[in-house]
Amino acid sequence: MDNFFELKNHDVGTHEVSVEILNSHNESVFKESYKLRPDESVSMTKPFNLKNSFESKEYIFKIILDNGIAEEKTSIYLNRWSTATMDIYWDNETPIMIREVMV
């Protein structure tokens, strides 16, 4: 998979979502905010060093929904064959779901 991450709003309302990704040294490698309408999604291409590596690399994904109403932080190991998916389901007990998907 060429995507570093995919973020999708499955809710009926618009949400502001902040995404920060840290590497294993706790250094920020990506930080961006998005305003996602219902069923809208965004993605980012994998960095070169991950796309061409045979080893898994640890990343910490920190997602903040609507300026702090909900927040989720998790560590995921990614490699050239996997991507992180982040799904917004406002009506769920856990409105932000972050997981790794393998090809």
* pLDDT surpassing 70 at residue 32: yes
Confirm or reject CATH 1.10.3470 for domain 3-102, answering yes or no.
Answer: no
pLDDT, residue 68, reads 93
What is the total residue count of the chain? 103
| Strands 96-102 and 41-45, bridge-based pairing | unpaired
Q: Does the structure show a pLDDT above 80 at 37?
A: yes
Query: Minimal CA–CA distance to 68: which of 5, 33, 18, 6?
Result: 18
What CA–CA distance (Å, rounded) separates 9 from 21?
19
CA 92 vs. chain centroid, Å, equals 18
pTM of the model: 0.91
Identify the sign of the CA torsion 33, 101, 24, 80.
Answer: negative
pLDDT digits (tens, 9 = 90+) for 50-80: 998 889 999 999 999 999 999 999 999 999 9
What is the SS3 assignment for 3?
A: strand
What's the pLDDT at 1?
A: 60
Residue 49 confidence (pLDDT) above 90: no
Q: Residue 38: what pLDDT?
A: 97
Domain boundaries along the sequence of the chain: 3-102
